[in-house]
Structure 1
Amino acid sequence: MTSINKMKEMPIRKLLLSMSLPIMVSMLIQALYNIVDSMFVAQYSQDALAAVSLAFPIQTLIVAVSVGTAAGLNSLLSRKLGEQNFKEANEVANHGVLAALLSGIPFMIFGIFFAQTFISAFSDRSTIISDGTTYTLICTVCSSAVLVEIAYERLFQATGHAMYNMYMQGAGALINIILDPIFIFGWFGFPAMGVTGAALATVTGQILAVLLGIYLQRRHVKELHISFRGFHLKKHIFAQMYAVGFPSIIMQSIVTVLTIGMNAILVGFSETAVSVFSVYFKLQNFVFMAVFGMNNALVAIIGYNFGARQKERILSSIRFAIQMAVLIMLIGTLIFQLFPQALLQLFNADAAMLKIGVPALRIISLSFLFAGVSIELSALFQALGKGISSLMISLCRQLLIVLPCAYLLARFSELDSIWYAFLIAEAFAMVIALFLYRKIKISMIDPMEHSL
C-alpha cells in the first residue's frame, strides 16, 4: 500500500506537487481540447461558434453533476482509506461508479426531448438553432462517458495514482483533437459535418478515455476492486457521498446558471457578445483548471490526513496550496492583460469580436487572484465534509453577486462595464471564504490531539 502510505508520510510540498501535477496536466489537456474544439468550429463559421456557445451551459451542467458526484466519492473514499478501512473503501468506489453511470440518464432524456426548445430560447436564426440542437443532442446522449470518466479520475486521486488521470485525459484529448478537423472539414474522405462533427469528435474522445481508465484501474490500482458481481446497494453510502456531492453539484451547476444568465443579459447587446463570453470562459478554464487540479489533489490529501488525525499536515497543505494557487492566477492575469488580442485571434475573431473581447478579458482577469484563494479554501471545506460551506463560496462567486451586478451595470451603463461584476463578486467571496475557514479551523482542526 505504498501509494496510500505516502498520503501520511511524504513531505507535504512534495506530496501536493506530485499528486497535483498529473491532475493539472490532465485538466489542462481537457481545457486545451475544449479550446481547440471551438477554434476549429470558429474556422468553419461564426454561426457555428454561436451555436456551440449556446450549447455550452448544458455541457457545464453535465460537468457539474460529474464533478459534484466525484467530489462526494473522493471525500468519502479518502477518509475510508485514511482510516485503513479497505472493505468500505471498495464499497464506496462501487457506489460512486454506479452513481456516475446512472446520472447520465436525465441528460439523455433532456437532449432527446428538450434540446431544440433550449437553443431556440436564445436565437431565432434557423442555422444556429439546427446546429446548436444537434450539438446538444449528441453531447447529452453520450453524457455518461463524462460522468464515469471523472469518477475514475477521483478514484485514481484518492489512491495516490493521479498519474493515470494524465494518461486517461491525454488519450481522450488527443483523439478529440485528431478527429475534430477530420469530422468538421471532411478530411481523408470523410463528409464535412461541421458542428455535428465537432460533437462526434468530443464524445468519441470521452468514450475512449473511459475505456482506458477502466483498464488502468483494473490493471494497476490494486487498492480497489470495482465489480458489480454480488453488489448490494447501501443507501447510507449514497447519503454520505451526496452530503458532500450534492452541495458540490449545486455549486458546480451555478456555472450553468451564470452562463445562461449572462447569455440572457449579453444577447441584448449582440450575439457576438455571447460568443465573447463563451470564448472567455474556455480561455479562463485553461488558467482555472490548473488551480482546480491542485484543488482535487488537496481534497484527497486533507481527507486522508483528517481521517488519520494529522493536524499539521492539513494546515501545511492548505497554506502551500493557496501560495501555489495565487502564483498560477498571477501568471494567468498577466497573460490576459498583455495578450488579449492574440488570445481572441485563436478563435478567428473579427473586428466586432475584438472590440468587445479585449476589454472583457482584461477586466475579468483582475479577479483571478481572489478566486485562487477561494477555490483552495473550498477544497478544505469539501475534504472535511463541509459541502455547504463550499456551496456558499460558489454562490457568492458565481451567482448571488455577479449576476445582479451584471444586470444593473447592463441597464445603467455600457457593455464594457458588465465585466466588472466578476471582480466585485470574487473579492467578496474571498472575504467570506476566509471567515468560514477561521470558524472551521477553530472547531475541527485545532482540537486534534495528534500532529507530526
Structure 2
Amino acid sequence: MENKMGTEPIRKLLIKMSLPLMISLLISNLYNLIDSMYVSSLGESALSAVSLSAPIMMMMAAFGSGNAIGLNAVLSKALGENNPEKVKKAIRTSLFLSLASYIVIVTSRLIIVEPYFSSQTSDLEIIRQGTAYLNTVMFLAFGVMFQWVLERLLISTGKTHLFMITLSSGAIINIILDPVFIFGVPVLGIPALGVQGAAVATVFGQTFSASLALYFNYKYNKEIEMKFSLVPDWSTFIEILKTGIPTAFMQGFVSVVTMGVNMILISFSTTAVAIYGVVLRILNMILIMPNGIGLGVIPIVAYNYGAQKRNRVKEAIKFSVIFSVLVGVIGMIVLSIIPSFMLGMFNPTDEMKTIGITAIRLLSITLPLAGVSIVLSSFFQGIGLAKYSMYLSLTRQIILLLPIVFLLSLTKILPLVWIGFSVAEGLALIVGYILYKRSYRDVLMKIQEYTVEECCI
C-alpha cells in the first residue's frame, strides 16, 4: 500500500503531522524562554551574555539544520520513488555529516569564542559569563548534531509522534536541570554554576533527545535501516549538500545579521541587546505554529512531488499559507495588548520595561509576514529548490534587514530600529511571492498529473 503522505486528505495529513511538531517546538521554545527567565534572575549582564551568544548558537544550528533539511528532501523523495537503496545511502551519509559537523564545532571553539565576545562588548562580566556559556555548549555539541538527523528520520517517515516524544523529553529535562545547575544543590554536592549551568542543562537535554531518537529509529522505524559508516556515499553526499548548503547558509546569514543587529543595538545600550534577545524568544513562541506547519509540509511536498501529484502539492502550500497568516495576525494582536505581562517574566528594570514594551509592539508586526516566508521556504525545499529558500533568506536578512536597521539607527531613535524589521519582512515577502510564481511555472506545471477536474476543463 502507498504511504499515507500520498493518499490521505491534505488538510488532515498536515494537521496530523504538524500538530506533534508544534507541541514539540512549543516545549523546545518554552525551555529557551525559561532559560532566559532563570538567567535574568542573575542580573542584566547575564541576560546580555546569553543574548550575545545567540549568533554563535545559530551558526552551530546551521550545521545541523543544513544536514537535516538535506536529508529530509533526499529521503522523502527516495521513499516516494520506492528506492530503498537510496534511503540507506541517505541515512549513512547524513550520520557521517553529523560527526564531521561536531569535529568542526569543537575545534573552532578554541579559536572564536573569546575574540567574538571581545568584539561585541568591553564589559568584562558579560565576556566572562558568555565565554563560559558558549565553551560548554560547543564542547558538548555532539548530542545536538546527531539529534538533528535522528529526529529528522522520524519526521521524514511520518512518525512525528515519536519526534514529539524525543524533543519534548529533552526539553523537559533541560527545564528540570536549569535551576539545579544554575543555582546549585549543596546537599547533593552540586555547585552553583550560574550562566554556565544553563549551558550544562541544555546539552544534557540534547544528548538525551538524541539517544532516545536513536532507540526509536532502531525499534520502530521499519522503513529505514540504521547504519553508520566513516565512508559516505559521495553522490548522496553531494545531493544532501545541494539542498542542505543553502539552508545552512540561510541559518548562517541569520547568525551574521544577529551579530550585526546586536552591535547596532549595543550602541544604544546593553539593555537594548538584552531586550532584543527576550523579544525574539517571545516571538518564536508564536512562530512555532508556522514553523511546525513548515516542517510538516516539507516531507508532504517532497513525497507528492516525487510521486507526481501536483494538486496535492498545491493544496498543501495553500492551506499552510492561510494558517500561518491567521496565526501571525492573532499573535500580533495579543502581544500588542499584553506587552507588560510578557516582560514581567524576566525581572525587568525600569529601563527594560520602557524599551521592551515598545519593542514587543513594533516587532510583533513581523509575525504574519514572517509566517508566510517560513512556509514558502519549506515549499521551495520540498520541491528541490532550496536555492530559492536561500534567495528569500538573503533578501530578508542581508540585502534588506541589516541595511535598513543600520540606516534607521543613524537617527538615534530606537523605536525606528524596531520598525525596520517589519519593513524588511514586508519587502522580502514580495520577493518570496515572485519566487513562488516562478517555481510554480517552472516546476509544478511540468508535472503531467491526470485528474477528472483537469479532464473536464
TM range (shorter): over 0.9
- C-alpha distance in 1 between matches for 2:412 and 2:52: 25
Q: CA deviation at 1:373?
A: 1.4
Give the Cα–Cα distance (whole angstroms) in 2 for the partners of residues 370 and 56 of structure 1.
23
Kept after mapping to 2: 8 A contact 1:7/1:304: yes
| 1:344 positional shift | 1.4
Partner residue in 1 for 2:75:
77
Contact 2:91–2:227, Cα closer than 8 Å, also in 1 = no
Check if 1:192 corresponds to 2:209.
no
Task: Give yes or no for contact 2:92–2:232 (8 Å, CA) kept in 1.
Answer: no
**Residue matched to 2:117:** 119
Deviations, residues 176-199 of structure 1 (Å, cap 9, x unaligned): 000000111113542111011111
How far the C-alpha of 1:38 sits from its partner, in A, is 0.9
Match of 2:351 in 1: 352
User: What's the offset of the Cα at 1:154?
Assistant: 1.5
In the alignment, what sits opposite 1:208? 208
CA contact (8 A) 1:102 1:144 kept: no
1:64 corresponds in structure 2 to 62
The alpha-carbon deviation at position 450 of structure 1 amounts to 1.9
- The question of whether the paired residues in 2 share the 8 Å contact of 1:254 and 1:395 is answered with yes
1:254 aligned onto 2:267: no
Aligned partner of 1:173 in structure 2 is: 171
For 1:157, the aligned partner's letter is: I
- The 5 Å alignment of 1:375-414 reads 375-414=374-413
Counterpart in the other structure of 1:416 = 415
Deviation string, structure 1 residues 232-274 (Cα, Å, up to 9, x no partner): 5221101111111000101111221121000110111100001
Q: How many angstroms apart in 2 are the aligned matches of 1:278 and 1:451?
A: 50
Give the Cα separation in 1 of the matches to 2:160 and 2:225: 17
Deviates more, 1:332-341 or 1:184-193: 184-193
1:413 Cα offset (Å): 4.1
Is there any run of 5+ residues in structure 1 with no aligned partner, and where? none
- Matched pairs, number: 449
Contact 1:112 1:141 (8 Å CA) reproduced: no
Residue in 2 aligned with 1:314?
Answer: 313
Q: Deviation of residue 134 (structure 1)? A: 0.7
Q: Which amino acid aligns with 1:119?
A: F
In structure 2, what is the equivalent of residue 298 of structure 1?
A: 297
Q: CA deviation at 1:228?
A: 2.4
Q: How far apart, in 1, do the equivalents of 2:412 and 2:180 lie?
A: 44
For 1:37-186, list aligned pairs within 5 A.
Answer: 37-186=35-184
Matched, 1:10 2:8: yes
Does 2:243 correspond to 1:222?
Answer: no
For residues 71-93 of structure 1, give each alpha carbon's deviation from its aligned partner in whole angstroms, at most 9, with x where no partner exists: 11101111000001012112101
Q: What CA deviation, in whole Å up to 9, does each residue of 1:36-84 have, x standing for no partner? A: 1111011122221111111111111111221121111101111000001
The SS at the match of 2:405 is helix
Deviation at 1:421, TM superposition (A): 1.0
Correspondence for 2:455: none
* Structure 1 equivalent of residue 428 of structure 2: 429
Equivalent AA in structure 2 for residue 311 of structure 1: R
CA distance in 2, matches of 1:176, 1:367: 29
**Number of the residue aligned with 1:27:** 25
Q: 1:243–1:385: 8 Å Cα contact kept in structure 2?
A: no
Aligned pairs for 1:225-374 within 5 A: 225-228=225-228, 232-374=231-373
Letter in 2 for 1:360: A
**Unaligned stretches of 5+ in structure 2?**
452-457
Task: Give the drift of 1:125.
Answer: 2.2
How far apart in 1 are the matches of 2:29 and 2:384?
A: 28
Aligned partner of 2:60: which letter?
I
Specify the SS of the correspondent of 2:364. Answer: helix
Q: CA RMSD in A?
A: 1.4
Helix, strand or coil at the partner of 1:289: helix
Aligned-residue offset at 1:146: 1.4
Change (3 A) 1:153 1:228: closer
Taking the TM superposition and a 5 Å limit, the aligned residue runs for 1:433-444 are: 433-444=432-443
Are the aligned partners of 2:151 and 2:210 in contact in 1 as well (CA < 8 Å)?
Answer: no
Q: TM-score, normalised by structure 2?
A: 0.96
* Alpha-carbon separation, structure 1, partners of 2:315 and 2:424: 28
The 2-side partners of 1:61 and 1:400 are apart by 19
SS in 1 for 2:446: coil
| Alpha-carbon distance in structure 1 between the residues aligned to 2:101 and 2:450 | 39
| Displacement after TM superposition at 1:105 (Å) | 1.6
1:20–1:297 CA contact under 8 A, matched in 2: yes
Q: Do the aligned partners of 2:89 and 2:232 also contact (CA within 8 Å) in 1?
A: no
Identical positions, percent: 35
Instruction: Give, in whole Å, the separation in 2 of the partners of 1:442 and 1:134.
Output: 51
Deviations 1:419-439 (A, max 9, x none): 111111111111111111111
Q: Which range is displaced more, 52-61 or 198-207?
A: 52-61
Counterpart code for 2:77: R
Give the superposition deviation at 1:149.
Answer: 0.8
Shift of 1:451: 4.8
CA distance in structure 2 between the aligned counterparts of 1:12 and 1:23, rounded to whole angstroms: 16
Kindly state the Cα deviation for residue 335 of structure 1 after the two structures are TM-superposed.
2.3
